[in-house]
């Protein structure tokens, strides 16, 4: 049974039993504790924790997930995949254990002809929590399972929580016996390869407190309404129903693996290490496809870094298989075709062209990185050998990994080819340090209390959602529901305090969708406070970070909440300007120029979009002109609500990193010309934006560009400054404005000519002086030694040392040392000719002796510094003695 059919059977089964089918959320998640959705329950988290009222009593979904904690295990085990699909059914206080057990058993064991999955009931085992006698009895009564196939386990295996205070409860897992050829008999407690887990039923019945580990926390009490959260791994079920040994051989992954094998000229199953590489390729190509489809772009931080690493691991695995040509152009289409049954958007030319462009650009960039890293590694190995070393330092291997993206396994392989080992322990220690810093960052992100969020859930439970009126008004009369500081609730805030305030109603826009939050004030009798930030730390709750500027602020105080009207006007202009620029981009560059990130605040906007290479001046001017023509046409700006399917049917563009409900707000500028899902504030007509002036266009990653613009009055100010600059240039050049480019070009040509002449004269002077210095070389133990001092001109010492060395007799060993003083600090350059190198002399060793290790280079040329200028004469005077005794 194909994976796509398993997916549809699962959803159909639960839809027929009263569950609302909820589409998969995008992989990037707004949850600040996660980079990507990593479990099927993540999109339902607000409903399961009670933060929001669920829109349906029961739901079902097949959720896209990415986990990369075990990325090194991908390909080496049968269970680890970085991308997977989790099928689940959820009850929000509607049904509990009896129904969940019965539904899972019915779907798993019903005949295929009746819509089930057709698993043999005699090969199914289950686990239950050791204290959960009720679930044990349900499996006996509902499924007829004998006691020996109901295994009791402890908290580590069969008790679930999110790792933080909140709902928790026992769980029951279903396993399938795949046969004696895969391991020992005895159930999942004995062998989890033979007995594969395929479904986990979580019974959220209690609330847990603070604590670590799987059981190091108190159980605070029962939930008022218990919930059901289940997860059936789609890839695992496909493995079972397709009769293959592991997930890499299922119908969505095996074709990618086979294509990779054909490209590399290897056969799957013939060599264990080659099989690992093929599995890595299959998994990572599919994962990259799905991440790119959901709007993630390769980068150096966060989500972008995860995607970059996955793409590079795929390319590297193909290299290990002996395939050095670009691989993604051949592999991505296979992944697209296999996944399009479940995700038809992948087959759309517009979507796939964007995916392919970014992936191919990243592969090209990594291939260049491999070339660059190879040069750096070869230089490091040559220098190591010149000093008699045979072990490359862990710090150098880490620099190759961290700075150049050079995989450690490639460093090990290439170093071994040259007879050099690598200090793996030193490298591992540096990697541990880096991972620990990353974990600390993640912990800080996970435990961070945005606007004092540790005390906000009780506020939401007690008072309900904030009445948010940012679309309707700039001012409200509001009551202070809560006042919080870093340590929790406060009874009062005094002048100068920075605190978090929750109001019952607010006119302030909370930072989201790329738009910065509003600025403004809270005022009341004998008090005033400046609003410096506004956020939504919990669904439905708006918080205000304020600085008290006069008097005192306390809970239950009635205040006037007022948005700064000038700020809001600028914010509306910038956000509408972002939509206009996005539409202009697509009009000029084509439909693949889709926004992949944006930010706007009064007077300023930036927009990221995929593009290989930069914009030409002509294209940039065309985009700017297209945007401003829309402003001149005064296109109407409207916002209307509709269902998400209606918006998709209408062709509205959605941001990939936003999560949308069943009803969405569609903002149109000129009707279909610009139509996007958006919750921001906007002008009523395009002319109210004023003007849009592009100020910068830069690269923010492989295949990703960023446009920046000044908007509104700031846009006019930018153009005025440009006008003044041109006026001053015209005055200084004594030329009409139209002739400025030609005049500046002529000046630059004259300057380049003068620089070339100066360089030629410097080279002649250096050559003449080098001949004089070489003639004055002294004999030191059979070696000609020449020393000199260069002027303070940057780079002269290196050029002079090389020139002197080349003028010494080629057949006699020769050593040169040239010092130079710049800003009171001495630099020393040493050079050795071939005859001296054959005798064992080394420029790098000599400079290290002179400067106590503060230098480096090769056996023929080295440089160091970091000593005071007063020491230079004595250092140069010591060179003949050091050479003679070497």
How confident is the model over 320-363, as pLDDT tens digits?
898 989 999 999 999 999 999 999 989 887 788 888 988 998 89
How confident is the model over 104-132, as pLDDT tens digits?
999 999 999 999 999 999 999 999 999 99
Can you spell out the DSSP letters for 339-408? HTTT-GGGGSHHHHHHHHHHHHHHHHHHHHHHHHHHHHHHHHHHHHHHTT--EE-HHHHHHHHHHH---H
How confident is the model over 160-219, as pLDDT tens digits?
887 778 889 999 999 999 999 988 999 999 998 899 999 999 999 998 888 777 777 888
Give the ranges where 110-216 is alpha helix by DSSP (H): 133-138, 155-158
Question: What gap in Å lies between CA 576 and CA 667, rounded to an integer?
Answer: 9
Can you spell out the DSSP letters for 90-127? EEESS--HHHHHHHHHHHHHS-GGGTS----GGGEEEE
Roughly what angle, to the nearest 10 degrees, separates helices 3-15 and 234-241? 120
CB–CB of 732/747 below 8 Å?
no
How confident is the model over 577-594, as pLDDT tens digits?
999 999 999 999 888 788
Spatial CA neighbour of 568 closest among 688, 669, 482, 667: 688
CB–CB of 219/201 below 8 Å?
no
Please give the average per-residue pLDDT across 84-90, as a whole number: 96
Angle in degrees, CA 291, 292, 293, rounded to 5: 90
| Residue 444, both tokens | 């800080």
The whole-number pLDDT of residue 103 equals: 97
Is residue 678 part of an annotated ligand binding site? yes
CB–CB of 365/702 below 8 Å?
yes
More confident residue, 412 or 277: 277
Please give the average per-residue pLDDT across 731-744, as a whole number: 88
Spatial CA neighbour of 94 closest among 196, 155, 18: 18
Question: What gap in Å lies between CA 238 and CA 254, rounded to an integer?
Answer: 12
Question: What gap in Å lies between CA 157 and CA 173, rounded to an integer?
Answer: 9
Statement: residue 308 has pLDDT above 50: yes
Tell me the pLDDT band of 449, cut-offs 50, 70 and 90.
very low
* Strands of the sheet with 861-868, listed across from one edge: 778-780, 783-789, 814-822, 825-832, 861-868, 855-857
More confident residue, 83 or 33: 83
How confident is the model over 361-404, as pLDDT tens digits?
889 888 887 777 778 888 888 888 888 888 988 888 888 877 77
CB–CB of 657/560 below 8 Å?
no
The whole-number pLDDT of residue 450 equals: 47
| Residue 580, both tokens | 């206009």
Spatial CA neighbour of 824 closest among 867, 761, 874: 867
The whole-number pLDDT of residue 505 equals: 96
Spatial CA neighbour of 655 closest among 599, 588, 574: 599
Spatial CA neighbour of 188 closest among 269, 127, 140: 127
- Sign of the dihedral through C-alpha 386, 389, 395, 401: positive
3-state secondary structure of 131: coil
Give the ranges where 112-154 is alpha helix by DSSP (H): 133-138
**Rounded alpha-carbon distances, angstroms, from residue 170 to 88, 96, 873:** 17, 12, 79
How confident is the model over 542-566, as pLDDT tens digits?
999 999 999 999 999 999 999 999 9
Kindly report the backbone phi and psi dihedral angles of residue 820, in degrees, each rounded to the nearest multiple of 5, phi listed first.
-150, 140
The whole-number pLDDT of residue 453 equals: 47
Statement: residue 448 has pLDDT above 80: no
Q: Where are the beta strands (DSSP E) in 193-341?
A: 195-208, 219-233
Spatial CA neighbour of 575 closest among 605, 596, 595, 597: 605
Is residue 544 part of an annotated ligand binding site? no
DSSP 850: H
- Sign of the dihedral through C-alpha 335, 338, 340, 343: negative
Spatial CA neighbour of 188 closest among 98, 123, 106: 123
How many of the other CB atoms lie within 10 Å of CB of 430? 18
State the DSSP H helix or E strand holding residue 807, giving kind and residue range, or none if neither: helix 796-807
How many of the other CB atoms lie within 10 Å of CB of 379? 12
How confident is the model over 491-542, as pLDDT tens digits?
999 999 999 999 999 999 999 888 999 999 999 988 999 999 999 988 889 9
Beta-bridge partner residues of 404: none
3-state secondary structure of 824: coil
CB–CB of 630/584 below 8 Å?
yes
| Residue 129, both tokens | 């929590």
Which of these ranges, 52-66, 649-663, 798-812, has the smallest mean pLDDT? Answer: 649-663
Please give the average per-residue pLDDT across 472-495, as a whole number: 92
Query: Is residue 530 exposed (0-12), middle (13-18) or buried (19+ Cβ within 10 Å)?
Result: middle
Please give the average per-residue pLDDT across 821-843, as a whole number: 90
The whole-number pLDDT of residue 557 equals: 93
| Residue 347, both tokens | 């087959």
Question: What gap in Å lies between CA 229 and CA 54, rounded to an integer?
Answer: 14
Tell me the pLDDT band of 792, cut-offs 50, 70 and 90.
low
CB–CB of 64/290 below 8 Å?
yes
The whole-number pLDDT of residue 110 equals: 95
The whole-number pLDDT of residue 702 equals: 65
Question: What gap in Å lies between CA 137 and CA 712, rounded to an integer?
Answer: 70
Spatial CA neighbour of 831 closest among 812, 846, 809, 852: 846
Tell me the pLDDT band of 661, cut-offs 50, 70 and 90.
low
Q: Checking DSSP bridges between strand 861-868 and strand 825-832, what pairing results, if any?
A: antiparallel
Which of these ranges, 417-431, 548-562, 643-657, has the smallest mean pLDDT? Answer: 643-657
Please give the average per-residue pLDDT across 83-97, as a whole number: 95
Roughly what angle, to the nearest 10 degrees, separates helices 97-109 and 3-15? 140
Statement: residue 287 has pLDDT above 70: yes
Give the list of residues 6+ apart from residue 469 with CB closer than 8 angstroms, or none. 476, 505, 506, 507
Percent of the chain topping pLDDT 90: 56
| Residue 596, both tokens | 């992949």
The whole-number pLDDT of residue 577 equals: 96
Spatial CA neighbour of 508 closest among 463, 545, 460, 469: 469
How confident is the model over 326-335, as pLDDT tens digits?
999 999 999 9
The whole-number pLDDT of residue 169 equals: 93
How many of the other CB atoms lie within 10 Å of CB of 99? 17
CB–CB of 391/421 below 8 Å?
yes
Statement: residue 854 has pLDDT above 60: yes
How confident is the model over 24-40, as pLDDT tens digits?
989 988 776 688 998 99
Q: What pTM was computed for the model? A: 0.64
Statement: residue 468 has pLDDT above 60: yes
Angle in degrees, CA 107, 108, 111, rounded to 5: 75
Distance of CA 476 to the CA centre of its chain: 39
Tell me the pLDDT band of 71, cut-offs 50, 70 and 90.
confident
Is residue 494 part of an annotated ligand binding site? no
Statement: residue 79 has pLDDT above 80: no
**Rounded alpha-carbon distances, angstroms, from residue 652 to 349, 573, 579, 627, 639:** 17, 21, 12, 19, 12
Domains along the chain with CATH numbers: 3-243 (3.30.930.10), 252-370 (no CATH), 458-563 (2.40.30.130), 568-718 (3.30.980.10), 762-884 (3.10.310.40)
Which of these ranges, 51-60, 395-404, 729-738, 776-785, has the smallest mean pLDDT? Answer: 395-404
The whole-number pLDDT of residue 440 equals: 54
User: What's the chain's average pLDDT?
Assistant: 89
Statement: residue 490 has pLDDT above 70: yes
Q: What is the 3-state secondary structure (H, E, C) of 779-792?
A: EECCEEEEEEECCC
| CA atoms within 13 A of residue 582's CA, in its CB half-sphere | 31
Statement: residue 444 has pLDDT above 60: no
Query: Is residue 388 exposed (0-12), middle (13-18) or buried (19+ Cβ within 10 Å)?
Result: exposed
Question: What gap in Å lies between CA 678 and CA 575, rounded to an integer?
Answer: 10
Is residue 575 part of an annotated ligand binding site? yes
The whole-number pLDDT of residue 714 equals: 93
How many of the other CB atoms lie within 10 Å of CB of 554? 13
The whole-number pLDDT of residue 865 equals: 85
The whole-number pLDDT of residue 656 equals: 55
Which range scores top for mean pLDDT: 50-59, 72-81, 465-474?
465-474
CB–CB of 359/332 below 8 Å?
yes
DSSP 216: B
3-state secondary structure of 614: coil
Which of these ranges, 217-231, 448-462, 698-712, has the smallest mean pLDDT? Answer: 448-462
Please give the average per-residue pLDDT across 594-616, as a whole number: 89
The whole-number pLDDT of residue 569 equals: 95
Tell me the pLDDT band of 243, cut-offs 50, 70 and 90.
very high
């Amino acid at each position: 049974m194909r994976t796509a059919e398993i997916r549809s059977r699962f959803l159909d089964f639960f839809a027929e039993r009263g569950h609302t089918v909820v589409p998969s959320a995008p992989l990037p998640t707004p949850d600040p504790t996660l980079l990507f959705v990593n479990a099927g329950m993540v999109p339902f988290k607000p409903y399961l924790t009670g933060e929001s009222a669920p829109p349906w009593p029961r739901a079902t979904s097949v959720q896209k997930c990415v986990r990369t904690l075990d990325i090194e295990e991908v390909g080496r085990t049968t269970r680890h995949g970085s991308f997977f699909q989790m099928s689940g059914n959820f009850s929000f206080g509607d049904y509990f254990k009896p129904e969940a057990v019965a539904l899972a058993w019915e779907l798993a064991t019903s005949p295929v002809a009746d819509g089930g999955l057709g698993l043999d009931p005699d090969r199914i085992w289950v686990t239950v929590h050791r204290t959960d006698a009720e679930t044990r009895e349900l499996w006996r009564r509902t499924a007829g399972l004998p006691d020996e196939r109901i295994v009791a386990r402890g908290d580590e295996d069969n008790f679930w929580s999110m790792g933080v205070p909140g709902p928790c409860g026992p769980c029951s897992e279903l396993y399938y016996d795949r046969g004696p050829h895969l391991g020992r008999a005895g159930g999942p407690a004995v062998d989890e390869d033979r007995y594969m887990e395929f479904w986990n039923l979580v019974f959220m019945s209690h609330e847990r407190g603070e604590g670590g580990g799987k059981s190091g926390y108190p159980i605070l009490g029962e939930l008022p309404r218990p919930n059901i959260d289940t997860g059936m791994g789609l890839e695992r079920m496909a493995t079972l129903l397709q009769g293959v040994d592991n997930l890499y051989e299922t119908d969505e992954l095996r074709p990618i693996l086979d294509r990779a094998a054909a490209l590399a000229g290897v056969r799957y199953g013939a060599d264990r290490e080659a099989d690992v590489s093929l599995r890595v390729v299959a998994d990572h190509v599919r994962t990259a496809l799905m991440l790119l489809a959901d709007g993630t772009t390769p980068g150096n931080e966060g989500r972008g870094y995860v995607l970059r690493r996955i793409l590079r691991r795929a390319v590297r695995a193909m290299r290990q298989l002996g395939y050095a040509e670009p691989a993604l152009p051949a592999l991505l289409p296979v992944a697209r075709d296999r996944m399009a049954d479940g995700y038809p958007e992948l087959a759309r030319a517009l979507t796939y062209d964007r995916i392919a462009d970014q992936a191919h650009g990243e592969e090209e960039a990594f291939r260049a990185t491999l070339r660059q890293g190879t040069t750096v590694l070869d230089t490091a190995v040559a220098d190591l050998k010149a000093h008699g070393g045979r072990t490359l330092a862990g710090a150098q291997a880490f620099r190759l990994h961290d700075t150049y993206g050079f995989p450690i396994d490639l460093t090990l392989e290439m170093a071994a080819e040259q007879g050099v080992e690598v200090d793996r322990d030193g490298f591992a220690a540096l990697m541990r340090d880096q991972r620990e810093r990353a974990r600390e960052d993640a912990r800080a992100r996970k435990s961070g209390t945005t606007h004092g969020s540790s005390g906000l859930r009780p506020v939401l439970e007690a008072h309900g959602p904030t009445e948010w009126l940012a679309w309707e008004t700039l001012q409200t009369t509001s009551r202070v529901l809560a006042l919080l500081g870093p340590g929790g609730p406060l009874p009062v805030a005094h002048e100068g305090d920075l605190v978090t305030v929750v109001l019952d109603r607010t006119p302030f826009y909370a930072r989201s969708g790329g738009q910065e939050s509003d600025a403004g004030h809270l005022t009341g009798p004998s008090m005033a406070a400046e609003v410096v930030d506004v956020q939504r730390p919990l669904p439905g709750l708006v918080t205000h970070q304020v600085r008290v500027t006069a008097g005192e602020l306390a809970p239950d105080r009635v205040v006037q909440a007022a948005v700064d009207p000038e700020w809001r006007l600028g914010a509306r202009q910038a956000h509408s300007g972002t939509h206009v620029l996005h539409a202009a981009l697509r009009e000029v560059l084509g439909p693949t120029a889709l926004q992949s990130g944006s930010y706007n605040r009064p007077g300023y906007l930036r927009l990221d979009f995929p593009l290989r290479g930069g914009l030409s001046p002509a294209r940039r001017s065309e985009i700017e002109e297209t945007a401003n023509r829309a402003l001149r046409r005064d296109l109407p700006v409207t916002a209307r609500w509709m269902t998400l399917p209606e918006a998709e049917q209408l062709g509205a563009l959605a941001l990939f990193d936003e999560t949308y409900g069943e009803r969405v707000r569609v903002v149109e500028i000129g009707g279909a010309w610009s139509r996007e899902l958006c919750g921001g504030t906007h002008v009523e007509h395009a002319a109210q934006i004023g003007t849009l002036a592009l100020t910068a266009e830069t690269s923010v990653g492989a295949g990703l560009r960023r446009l920046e613009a000044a908007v509104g009055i700031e846009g006019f100010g930018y153009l005025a400054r440009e006008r003044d600059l041109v006026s001053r240039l015209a005055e200084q050049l004594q030329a009409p404005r139209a002739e400025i480019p030609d005049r500046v070009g002529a000046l630059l040509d004259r300057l380049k000519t003068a620089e070339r002449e100066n360089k030629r004269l410097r080279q002649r002077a250096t050559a003449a002086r080098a001949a004089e210095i070489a003639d004055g070389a002294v004999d030191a133990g059979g070696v000609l030694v020449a020393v000199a001092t260069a002027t303070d001109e940057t780079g002269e010492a290196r050029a002079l040392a090389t020139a002197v060395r080349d003028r010494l007799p080629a057949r006699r060993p020769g050593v040169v040392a040239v010092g130079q003083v710049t800003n009171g600090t001495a630099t020393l350059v040493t050079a050795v000719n071939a005859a001296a190198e054959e005798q064992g002399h080394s420029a790098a060793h000599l400079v290290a002796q002179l400067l106590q290790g503060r230098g480096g280079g090769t056996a023929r040329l080295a440089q160091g510094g970091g000593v005071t200028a007063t020491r230079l004469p004595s250092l140069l005077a010591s060179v003949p003695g050091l050479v003679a005794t070497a």
